[in-house]
Amino acid sequence: MTQHLSTQSASSLEFMPEKGKPVLQARGLVKRYGQVTALDGTDFELRSGEILAVIGDNGAGKSSLIKALSGATIPDSGEIMLDGAPVRFRSPIDARRKGIETVYQDLAVAPAMTIAENLFMGREILRPGILGLLKIIDKKAMLTEATRHMADLKIGIRSMTQAVETLSGGQRQGVAVARSAAFARHVVIMDEPTAALGVKEGNMVLDLIRRVRDSGLPVIIISHNMPHVFEIADRVHIQRLGKRATVINPKRLSMSDAVAVMTGAMKSEDLSADMLAP
């Protein structure tokens, strides 16, 4: 369970995967809650080296899709593939073990604990040898690793020993993102990463998300903030009525047209080929 950040980050820096290879895919996902069909046979594809935004109206199945991909719900049918191999996630912890880290909207940090402790929560570095067998933690190593990792992501917090509750909203988001980026091997999923942040802090988090992508980890973001989505996403997955309506190229399609597709005012068949994502 214990992993060292050094090996993680080093490998992700050396290993720049070829762009465009599918990393996480889903086919025909169905999820029903009683009478309500949240997912009606939806497809999904995340490629290496990209930031994929998932947008959709309320009730389009956006969060059910993300829950299925992060292991928070088990779909009734359909399949999920990680690096081309079928996988089944029984819980978020299961998905995490397979290298998919999720940054939850409520951040899932322990406010009274320090930044270093939050980064390593549940995955503490143990002392070598017999002390490690006694589950004695290596505070110094965790502090060093945390400092280095936060510096790599250019999150300018100096002291890793300050409690997370003393940080601003953007800084807390930074800690949550840094934790996921440190331990993810395949995918980072971010649920509304810029919600409840001011303009400056929102931009800072967008920069951070780009750095995570550039370090070699593909990122899925779910957001209601259209300007942010269009600023950061390489491709935009539009979810509508429990299905994937289309995947668009945010550099070719306007924000208002994307919203029109999202609400059904414009049919995805009416989009010209260059507006769609390659």
Q: Which residues bind another protein (CB under 8 A)?
A: 1, 92-93, 96-97, 102, 104, 106-113, 117, 121-124, 126, 134-137, 139, 154-158, 162, 166-168, 170-171, 174, 200-201, 203-204, 207
Q: Which is nearer to another protein, 1 or 130 (CB)?
A: 1
Task: For residues 59 and 64, give the distance between their C-alpha atoms in angstroms, rounded to a whole number.
Answer: 9
Q: Minimum distance from CB of 149 to another protein (Å)?
A: 15
- The residues, ordered by sequence, that sit 6+ positions from 145 with a Cβ below 8 Å of its Cβ are 4, 5, 6, 119, 120, 125
Q: Minimum distance from CB of 264 to another protein (Å)?
A: 35
Q: Minimum distance from CB of 153 to another protein (Å)?
A: 10
Which one, of 181, 176, 140, lies nearest residue 157 by Cα? 176
Q: Which is nearer to another protein, 165 or 270 (CB)?
A: 165
Please give the DSSP secondary-structure letter assigned to residue 163. Answer: B
- The residues, ordered by sequence, that sit 6+ positions from 118 with a Cβ below 8 Å of its Cβ are 109, 110, 164, 175, 179
Q: Minimum distance from CB of 45 to another protein (Å)?
A: 25
Dihedral of CA atoms 23, 19, 182, 133 in degrees, nearest 10, equals: 60
Q: Which is nearer to another protein, 233 or 262 (CB)?
A: 233
Q: Minimum distance from CB of 258 to another protein (Å)?
A: 24
Q: Which is nearer to another protein, 174 or 250 (CB)?
A: 174
Q: Which is nearer to another protein, 199 or 273 (CB)?
A: 199
On whether the CB atoms of residues 245 and 239 are closer than 8 A, the answer is yes
Tokens linked to 69 = 């991909």
Q: Minimum distance from CB of 68 to another protein (Å)?
A: 16
Tokens linked to 240 = 């509508």
Q: Which is nearer to another protein, 60 or 103 (CB)?
A: 103
On whether the CB atoms of residues 69 and 78 are closer than 8 A, the answer is no
Residue 220: Cβ-neighbour burial (10 angstroms; 0-12, 13-18, 19+): buried
